[in-house]
Chains A and B, each alone.
Chain A
Amino acid sequence: MNVRRGILSITAALAAAPGCGPPDARFVNSERIDDLHRPVQQAVADALVDHFGTPHELVAWLRLPVNYGGYAGIVSAAPEANRRNTFRVELDPPADELEPGQELVWISGSLLAAPAGEQPVPWTVADYDPETMLITVDAAGVSPDDWPADWQPAPDDAFIVAPGGRLKHGRALYMEHCMHCHGVSGDGNGPTAPYLDPRPRDYRLGLFKFTSTGTGLKASRADLALTIRHGIPGTYMPSFLLLGDDELQAIVEYIRWLAMRGEFEKRMIDELYVDHSQQALEERKRDEAQQRSEGSPPDETVDEAVARYLEEEFPGVVDSLGNDLKDAWEQADLEDSVFKPAQPRLPAEPTPAAQLENALRESRERGLALYYSDKAKCATCHGPQGRGDGSEIFAFRDIPNTNPVQKYAEPGLFDDWGQKIEPRDLTRGVFRGGRRPIDIYRRIAVGIKGTPMPAFASALSEQERWDLVNFVLSVPYRDEPMTPPPQSAAPAPAATTAQIQPSPGAGPSGGPR
């Protein structure tokens, strides 16, 4: 009896002690880092922690176009001589009130520097009056009379109040809703990911497939929000329509931040790979040894050269990567970056219904002809009946940028993430990027970034693109499988699957407008 009670108490204590708190989150570095020379690996890891931090100590790098939250402020008028801690400011976004005690971080100006030899000062907001836009700041309780003489707030000094609030909010939401598939680092390798096909998106290439922006441009905030809001039909990505708009935007910011972190890492490794991978170092050391034996020793040893590179050139490389990220992601959100059709899909209103019906039918017929034509060659990948079984899925392809050239282990098409990807089965009517006509239009005109689907904007005119759109939208509703139009000059494409002979006489039936 007592023994049993003892066992029970011990079990209870063991159960209570560890608890089931949230897992210790850690950013995972790319596997390619392991191919780099040891000191260089360390430099890359340090740069990542320096510029992005860890999941528990985030770093808000102001270079990046991420809305970290808080209020960005500029000193607009110098303070009076006797009260140096109160001055007029302009806040963006404007604030109705600032809570006393909120953190304030100086970005420029004389108050940025701490007194010589001391820790950085924790600045806080003591008071803020939105009417007069006067702010009173506090430096760890030190009275302004005791401030060092060179602390003088001047116009155009910049600061941020409560930095990082939005990033933290986004992080918390991400860890709750997204992390289990997309991983802590956004690498698409969360705990649930091994059970999913297609795999969750790996943000670290900075690429997103379904965007409204033109070729070569990043996804805009609106694109990411749309994907999260509506999900991706045909995959495990659900719709998060029930999340509030504010939460959604916070998650979008965090995902953009993770994507920038991943791309930052990838670009750094790419830059270093050519001359600083382990194999490259071996070759360089061999060359150096050979030069020594030939009697013309180089100026510096390979190790010295690597150390010099890391000290002198690498910070510049890292910094320019920040600029690249800033330019690319800022450009994606511009109005001009959205790929807009120049003409509408159907004749504009008012058009009599019969005429509209006619126009649609003819457009679909032209689309059918284009599908098999030499101009668009959709059948090569999407198949002679639109089932995604075109002959290209049987070809063995080379993995790009490999030396010696390696082929993918399986035949077929592969995306930039190294995953096998199948051309869309058009007969199903499930379109991952959305089934609105404009979505299909963009897939055709801009292509799908990160996949073999190319941009057809230069190959097809506006009308031809819309003809294909109308045709593609009608494919699921056909009575029988599609066949090339009889008057098409090109012979029927190679049928690698058994071709189902359609029953004669039936033409394409109406589909959705």
Chain B
Amino acid sequence: MLKRHPAWRLIGAVLLTTALFVASGCGGGAPAEVSVNVKSSEAPQPASEIGPNGGTPPSVTPGQPGRITGTVTFDGTPPSLPLLADSSKIKPDEASVCKPELIGNDSLVVNPDNKGVAFVFVYLEKLPRGVTAPKSELPTLVFDNKNCRFVPHGIFVQTGQTVNVTNSDPILHNTHTFPKRTPQFNQAIPPAGAPLPLTYARPEQLPVEVKCDLHTWMKGLHLVLDHHWGAVTDEDGRFELPELPPGRYELKVWHERPGLLERSRRVQVDGDVELNLSYGAARFARYEGPRPKSVTVASR
């Protein structure tokens, strides 16, 4: 009589389904077929002749070698920017060292006399075919932590060149670089400590950001190239690239606020070239408000 109870049929059906699920392969199933193909370590044959630096089509033309010099100026009235650090960001025990007025704001430095913009990077990212950089003894550069600020704010470094990171403050800093092609450099540098040597093994496409994790407003920039045709504008906005063979080159011009001001500015070198660039406030503007929220509706 118990067997004929309708509930037993239901229980039986459930048990049977479960058993079939288990039997058909939950918790294992057929092992997936996996195959391995071997790819040899030989380099691919180049499609066409590529020079040691790859780069743009041959552009060395007859003519005179020359340097590229010039200025980058601000067109219009430069804005007055707020100070980077204020008392809300500075720890009380460091207030005697990190003074907001000494820290200033290096994100846009415009000379009031000649409107020259400092810390603009002008460089050849890739060398064209047929141009090789001369090798020479590279001096050691100094990159200092002073008054809770990186001094100088932007430098041009060649691969293999030593940058001595120093700390002129009586407080601890750490210098943390964020390159793309090499591992990060993140070392604590004690007050009045020995200089820390920093070298880059590979060039970078864009200037490398340098930060201090203990002082969030601190920012520095390192332009890293494997040749010497790079420059940072000085306090008058002047830059100078050393002598280049005659030909047509494509320069990149970069500033930290907008990023790339010029992605590939064509310059014809036949003798010395003067290149004067001028940008207005719109080109140096940078959105500094809250981060816009983005919602992904569908993936690929």
Interface string of A163-196 (1 = CB under 8 A from B): 1110110011000000000000000000000000
Q: Is the CB of A398 within 8 A of B181?
A: no
User: Which partner residue on chain A sits nearest B49 by CB separation?
Assistant: A312
Q: Which residues of B contact A (CB under 8 A)?
A: 9, 13, 16-17, 20-21, 23-27, 29-41, 43-44, 46-48, 50, 54-55, 57, 89, 91-93, 170-172, 174, 176, 178, 180-191, 193-194, 196, 205-206, 209, 211, 213-214, 216, 219, 256, 258-260, 263-264, 266, 286-288, 291, 300
A234 within 8 A of B: no
Q: Is the CB of B171 within 8 A of A374?
A: yes
Q: Which of A369-392 contact B (CB under 8 A)?
A: 374-377, 380, 391-392
Residues of A contacting B193 in the complex (Cβ-Cβ under 8 angstroms): 458-459
**A375-B172 CB under 8 A given contacts A271-B205, A311-B47, A494-B93:** yes
- Beyond contacts A271-B205, A404-B287, A493-B91: 16 other A-B pairs, Cβ-Cβ < 8 A, are A17-B24, A18-B24, A22-B32, A59-B38, A164-B36, A284-B263, A287-B264, A312-B48, A315-B44, A315-B47, A380-B214, A392-B213, A398-B211, A400-B178, A406-B291, A455-B186
12 inter-chain pairs at a CB distance below 8 angstroms, sorted by A residue, are A12-B20, A57-B37, A164-B36, A215-B186, A283-B260, A312-B47, A315-B44, A377-B172, A403-B256, A458-B190, A493-B91, A494-B93
Of B13, B44, B48, B172, the residue contacting A376 (CB under 8 A) is B172
A299 within 8 A of B: yes
Residues of B contacting A163 in the complex (Cβ-Cβ under 8 angstroms): 36, 38
A303 within 8 A of B: no
Expressed in whole angstroms, the Cα–Cα distance for A187 and B9 within the complex equals: 47
Residues of A contacting B91 in the complex (Cβ-Cβ under 8 angstroms): 380, 391, 493-494
Residues of A contacting B291 in the complex (Cβ-Cβ under 8 angstroms): 406-407, 409
Expressed in whole angstroms, the Cα–Cα distance for A167 and B26 within the complex equals: 25
Q: Is the CB of B36 within 8 A of A401?
A: no
Residues of A contacting B46 in the complex (Cβ-Cβ under 8 angstroms): 312, 315-316
**A20-B35 CB under 8 A given contacts A406-B291, A413-B213:** no
Q: Is the CB of B263 within 8 A of A275?
A: yes
Residues of A contacting B89 in the complex (Cβ-Cβ under 8 angstroms): 395
Q: Which of A308-334 contact B (CB under 8 A)?
A: 311-313, 315-319, 322, 324, 328
Residues of B contacting A53 in the complex (Cβ-Cβ under 8 angstroms): 36-37
Q: Is the CB of B41 within 8 A of A490?
A: no
Q: Is the CB of A21 within 8 A of B29?
A: yes
Q: Is the CB of B36 within 8 A of A491?
A: no
Q: Is the CB of A400 within 8 A of B209?
A: yes
A61 within 8 A of B: yes
User: Which partner residue on chain A sits nearest B93 by CB separation?
Assistant: A491
Lowest 9 A-B CB distances belong to which pairs? A164-B36, A21-B29, A20-B26, A216-B183, A63-B41, A454-B174, A15-B20, A19-B25, A19-B24
Expressed in whole angstroms, the Cα–Cα distance for A318 and B46 within the complex equals: 12
A436 within 8 A of B: no
Q: Is the CB of B34 within 8 A of A58?
A: yes
Expressed in whole angstroms, the Cα–Cα distance for A19 and B32 within the complex equals: 14
Expressed in whole angstroms, the Cα–Cα distance for A374 and B170 within the complex equals: 8
Residues of A contacting B47 in the complex (Cβ-Cβ under 8 angstroms): 311-312, 315
Q: Is the CB of B16 within 8 A of A12?
A: yes
A280 within 8 A of B: yes
A107 within 8 A of B: yes
**A403-B39 CB under 8 A given contacts A12-B20, A312-B54, A452-B213:** no
Residues of A contacting B258 in the complex (Cβ-Cβ under 8 angstroms): 403
Residues of A contacting B176 in the complex (Cβ-Cβ under 8 angstroms): 452, 454
Q: Is the CB of A20 within 8 A of B25?
A: yes
A128 within 8 A of B: no
Interface string of A279-310 (1 = CB under 8 A from B): 01001100100000000001100000000000
User: Which partner residue on chain B sits nearest A444 by CB separation?
Assistant: B188
Measured between C-beta atoms, what is the minimum distance from B149 to chain A in Å?
Answer: 16
- B interface SS class: loop
Measured between C-beta atoms, what is the minimum distance from B13 to chain A in Å?
Answer: 6
Residues of B contacting A56 in the complex (Cβ-Cβ under 8 angstroms): 32-35
**A105-B172 CB under 8 A given contacts A401-B209, A493-B91:** no
Q: Which of A56-80 contact B (CB under 8 A)?
A: 56-63, 68
Measured between C-beta atoms, what is the minimum distance from B109 to chain A in Å?
Answer: 16
Q: Which of A455-512 contact B (CB under 8 A)?
A: 455-460, 490-494
Expressed in whole angstroms, the Cα–Cα distance for A108 and B209 within the complex equals: 44
Q: Which of A345-387 contact B (CB under 8 A)?
A: 374-377, 380
Residues of B contacting A328 in the complex (Cβ-Cβ under 8 angstroms): 183
**A107-B38 CB under 8 A given contacts A454-B174, A454-B186:** yes
Most buried by A among B16, B20, B170, B194: B20
Q: Is the CB of A15 within 8 A of B21?
A: yes
Residues of A contacting B180 in the complex (Cβ-Cβ under 8 angstroms): 267, 270, 401
A217 within 8 A of B: yes
Of A316, A318, A376, A398, the residue contacting B188 (CB under 8 A) is A376
Measured between C-beta atoms, what is the minimum distance from B297 to chain A in Å?
Answer: 12
Q: Is the CB of A313 within 8 A of B50?
A: yes
Of B29, B196, B219, B264, the residue contacting A22 (CB under 8 A) is B29
Q: Is the CB of B286 within 8 A of A404?
A: yes
Expressed in whole angstroms, the Cα–Cα distance for A459 and B263 within the complex equals: 40
Measured between C-beta atoms, what is the minimum distance from B198 to chain A in Å?
Answer: 11
Residues of A contacting B185 in the complex (Cβ-Cβ under 8 angstroms): 215-216
A149 within 8 A of B: no
Residues of A contacting B263 in the complex (Cβ-Cβ under 8 angstroms): 275, 280, 283-284, 287
A396 within 8 A of B: yes
Expressed in whole angstroms, the Cα–Cα distance for A245 and B182 within the complex equals: 33
Most buried by B among A4, A172, A275, A407: A275
Of A105, A397, A458, the residue contacting B196 (CB under 8 A) is A458
**A167-B36 CB under 8 A given contacts A16-B23, A267-B181, A404-B286:** yes
Residues of A contacting B178 in the complex (Cβ-Cβ under 8 angstroms): 400-401
Expressed in whole angstroms, the Cα–Cα distance for A458 and B21 within the complex equals: 62
Interface string of A33-69 (1 = CB under 8 A from B): 0100000000000000011010111111111000010
Residues of B contacting A392 in the complex (Cβ-Cβ under 8 angstroms): 213-214
User: Which partner residue on chain B sits nearest A490 by CB separation?
Assistant: B93
A11 within 8 A of B: yes
Residues of B contacting A398 in the complex (Cβ-Cβ under 8 angstroms): 211, 216, 219
User: Which partner residue on chain B sits nearest A298 by CB separation?
Assistant: B266
Expressed in whole angstroms, the Cα–Cα distance for A275 and B266 within the complex equals: 16
Of A58, A287, A316, the residue contacting B35 (CB under 8 A) is A58
Q: Is the CB of B23 within 8 A of A456?
A: no
Expressed in whole angstroms, the Cα–Cα distance for A317 and B54 within the complex equals: 9
